[in-house]
Amino acid sequence: MAETIETRIAAFLNALSDSDAAALYDKVMTSVRTELKPSSSLPDDFEHYSNIEADGPTGADLMDVITCHLVTGGRGITDEKYPRFQLNFNLQKATGEYATPSKVIEGVKPVPWEIKDVLSAEGWESLKSSFLPSKDVEKKPSKVTIKILLHHIAYNDRRRRTGMEPIPAGTGSGTSISHLCDKEKCCNQLHHVRADQHQVNLDRQRCPGMTVLVLDGVIMQVMNCPHFETSETNLVTSPNCTRLTVIELDPTIFSAFNASAYETAHEKYVENKRIRRALPGRLSL
């Protein structure tokens, strides 16, 4: 595979230590403006729904799973379909070294911190060797610009997942980091997964996600999305798409088939209403 800027970026991110990867994500996010928004439309008061099972996910639990962190802007962030974190380096003629400028370049406001102060000494040297010409190069460019996809930085933060596959070197040519929520501007670390085939990424787009059966404000069952743990997708251990399709069950029809379960659900519904009147606001039952 021919080396491109994308393969160099992938190699740089993959080579970062766990602490450097986490520090980079945390620091970048201090410069980003985000909006918290569920990836799917939900019934009113869904966050207060309880579950028929004592250990089953509540409405609040599911809302937490599908809530996106949508990028709305920020310093050092490009305004693109897939936002990128942009690093600009200007050549210092006196020293032959590169430093981040303090002025706006290409319409992107500079971040109010130095990237070399965020990374360890090893991480900073890796960045320099990956992207910046060395001092002994005779004709060095006066400016070097690096644009890193923000959701790649988020995916590379390894604190919130185990067994993570590295960022593929050939992103854009068959492999990718896929958005489980199908929201291009989302930077929630848990909403991204590696896809080794372009068709896998396409399959996730516009997937209805998990199906939730609801009766009288009580979650009766949560079913995985259609391709969850399907070996043909090459994502055997992949999580669900982080979207929800909520189906409200008809109490009359449901009670005819399962009177006991209906009575239990109805009792929980009545109890939920009583508790919410006493304790208004967000409540996980």
Residue 144 three-state SS: strand
Task: Please indicate, yes or no, whether residues 155 and 26 belong to a single structural domain of this protein.
Answer: yes
The DSSP secondary structure of 244-258, one letter per residue, reads EEEEEPPHHHHHHH-
What's residue 104's pLDDT?
75
Average confidence (pLDDT) over 56-76: 93
Q: CA separation (Å) from 109 to 87, 106, 134, 206? A: 10, 8, 26, 34
pLDDT tens digit string along 143-193? 889 999 999 999 999 887 666 788 887 665 667 888 889 999 999 988 888
Helices vs. strands in the chain: H and E counts, helices first: 8, 11
Query: Considering 196, 221, 247, which residue would you say is the last residue of a domain?
Result: 196
pLDDT, tens digit (0-9, with 9 covering 90-100), for 185-244: 999 988 888 877 777 777 777 788 889 999 888 998 888 887 676 544 444 345 788 899
Note whether 121 and 216 are same-domain residues: no
Please state, in angstroms and rounded to a whole number, the distance separating the CA atoms of residues 238 and 186: 18
CA distances from 57 to 61, 64, 140, 281 (A): 6, 10, 57, 18
Q: Are residues 53 and 117 in the same domain?
A: no
Please tell me the distance from the alpha carbon of residue 111 to that of residue 104, in angstroms, as a whole number.
10
Question: Is residue 126 located within the same domain as residue 11?
Answer: yes
Domain that holds residue 50: 41-67+207-285
Same domain, residue pair 261 and 183: no
Q: Are residues 25 and 162 in the same domain?
A: yes
Token pair in block for residue 278? 């006493």
Reply yes or no on whether the pLDDT at 275 is more than 60. no
Are residue 101 and residue 136 in the same domain, yes or no? Answer: yes
Residue 282 binned pLDDT confidence (cut-offs 50, 70, 90): very low
The whole-number average pLDDT for the span 261-278 is: 61
pTM of the predicted structure, to 2 decimals? 0.80
Same domain, 94 and 219: no
* Domain tally, the chain: 2
- Residue 266 falls within a domain, yes or no? yes
Between 47-51, 61-65, 175-179, the lowest mean confidence (pLDDT) is in: 175-179
User: Do 177 and 192 contact (CB within 8 A), yes or no?
Assistant: yes
Q: What is the radius of gyration, based on Cα positions, of the chain? A: 23
Residue 207's nearest CA partner among 176, 238, 237, 185 is 238
Residues 21 and 134 in one domain: yes
